[in-house]
Amino acid sequence: MPDALAKLPKQTYPIALSAVDANYLDHEDDFLPGVVREKLWEIFVEIGRAWGNVPNDSAGLRSSWLEFIEAKVTRSPSYAGEYANAVSVMQELAGVLGRDWAYQQLFFNSGVSPKDPPVTRLAHLKRYVVDEFIAVQITASGFRGFADSIFSPNRPLNYAGFVRGSRYNERPSARLYPRQQPAGTAEVE
């Protein structure tokens, strides 16, 4: 196993390993330029690729992700500073390590402890962007892809936070025990 990102020489990664406050990073305004948004989307897509749990490069999750990003940027505390930081750090890591290896290391060997306060720019990227994108991806249906196959009939149908979409009334909420109580005991259905 190579050294974790957090253990690499600081002089090689002056942005990623520079010290910052553990609190949310400030930004001039609560606006997210399109170019930043698309760089962030790239991180989100790479999460699905790395774990192989979402089909079609996460295209089906983009609307959920956009809604999440919008809520994070326009509501307090704004993540505009975190997102600008993420793009800068990612650019540096990809420049030195190469894009694919940078993502591999970031996801599986960052050396950033989830328990410690994030006091480097790299730690901010991991905590406030990568980790949160992972949670969004899982709740937006990524949980299913850890069953036998993404298309397995036995995979779970629900998970904390998963909202099924506009046809929810026609789809089962969960895998049900096949032997149920006698039906027809309610007034309405």
Partner 1 sequence: MMAKHYQYVLIGSGVAAVTLARQLLANDRATSILILEAGPRVPRGDRRSWWDYILSQRKPYDFCYDVPGENTTNGDVDWGYEGSRIMAYGGSTGHWGAWCLRYKPEDFELFSNTGEGADWPISYDDLDAYYHEAEHYLSVNGDCGESWNAVRAHQPYPRPNFGWTEADGLMVEAFEKNNIEPGAMPVARYRKCMATGTCKYCPIGSRYTAQDVLDELVQDPRHVNLEIRCLSPVVRLVPDRKSNIAAAEYLDTKTGETLTATGDVFVVAAGTYESPKLLMRSKDRFWPDGIGNDHDLVGRYIVSHSFLRVSGSLPANERNWVQEFDFPTLMSRTLDAPEYQLDGKIFIFKNRVLPNVDIARLMIQGKTRDQIRAILSGPMFFELQAFYEEKGQHRNRLVERSGSNRFGLPLMTVNYLREEKFKERADNRLALMKPVIDAMKCENVVTNIDDPGGHHASGTCRMGASPEQGVTDKDMKVFGTDNLYVCSNAAFPTCAAVNPTLTLTAMTLRLSDYLIGNVTQQVRQEMFA
Per CB under 8 A, 143 contacts partner 1: yes
What lies within 8 Å, CB to CB, of 50 at 6+ separation is 103, 104, 107, 108
| Residue 114: Cβ within 10 Å count | 10
Q: Which two tokens stand for residue 119?
A: 């006091």
Per CB under 8 A, 41 contacts partner 1: no
Q: Which two tokens stand for residue 25?
A: 């990073």
d(CA 37, CA 98): 21
141, exposed or middle or buried, with CB in 10 Å at 0-12, 13-18, 19+?
buried
CB under 8 Å, gap of 24 or more: what pairs does 70-74 form?
73/30, 73/31, 73/32, 74/30
Nearer to partner 1, 53 or 120 (CB): 53
d(CA 168, CA 174): 12
Nearer to partner 1, 11 or 179 (CB): 179
- In whole angstroms, the minimum distance from the beta carbon of 8 to partner 1 comes to 16
In the shown chain, the binding pattern of residues 98 to 117 toward partner 1, with x for contact by CB under 8 A and - for none, equals ---------xxxx---x---
Beta bridge partners of 19: 120
Per CB under 8 A, 65 contacts partner 1: no
Q: What's the length of the chain?
A: 189
- In whole angstroms, the minimum distance from the beta carbon of 110 to partner 1 comes to 7
Q: Which of 37, 39, 131, 150 binds partner 1 (CB under 8 A)?
A: 131
Per CB under 8 A, 86 contacts partner 1: no
Q: Which of 27, 39, 62, 164 binds partner 1 (CB under 8 A)?
A: 164
Per CB under 8 A, 141 contacts partner 1: no
- Summarize as ranges the residues that interact with partner 1 (CB under 8 A): 47, 51-53, 67-68, 71-72, 75, 107-110, 114, 130-132, 134-139, 142-143, 146-148, 154-164, 168-169, 173-183, 185-189
